Structure 1
Amino acid sequence: MDQYGSDELLLPSLQASDEIDMPGRFDYNCSRKGDAGNISRICLWVKNDDDTCLSRRVRHSICILGVEHLSLLAETPHIMANKVEFGFI
């Protein structure tokens, strides 16, 4: 497995697993019912010269979520955050 892609595989796997029963997960039964319009995650894309990343930490053009994003995360509990600052967890 590519050492840089493991998180991109792990979190979606946890989110879709019946056995793990992660809160807010989206599994086969959800898609079979057809009542989900879309599935998403919070991913704040920024340009290199963009100053909109509140944490001021950017990796691969994605804003790393930090304490500064607590209100945003609280307003959207139904979707998963992508790229969270390690010290924030």
Structure 2
Amino acid sequence: MELVAALKELNGSNLVESTEHGKYAWRTKNQLLPLNANWYKGLIYSAFRREFLHEAVMGTAVGPIRDLMLKPNNIRHPDEFYFPTLAYNSHLHLPGACLDSPSPKSEYGYNYLGKFVIWKDYRMTCATKYVRDVCILGADHVSLLQSVPHISANKFHADYQPEAYDEMEQWYF
């Protein structure tokens, strides 16, 4: 019920973390996008309106952008670009599009409500271990996770302190 209430507070907007693609331009080979769209990079951890996803996946209006993204070996990690790009180009008129540009790097990450994560370059302690610069959540993080407003958490490993995930599951349900 809390998740439903949180999503209702978005008033029909999508919940999408993104940043301008600046330092990631090499991943797109500095290509220009069709439809006068600007590149945005983000994560696949998002909450979208069903109508937005239908248009993104099946619609013809954004077909030229989708076709560019789907070309084999054209863009590195297209999943990190496709949905944020569609969500932050409001002139494409997709349902739930974000009207404001994403926050600057200094303001995103920990403040993104879609996902809690501790990256190695954050100023937060990781009492467990890092795998590819992401803190693997464990028992020491349970009380913190129970106090933050995020709707998901990244990253648990099934074979590393599994009791932490179990405790979160019991707390949530």
Superposition TM-score, scaled by structure 1 size: 0.49
Which structure has the bigger radius of gyration?
2
Give the structure with the higher percent helix.
2
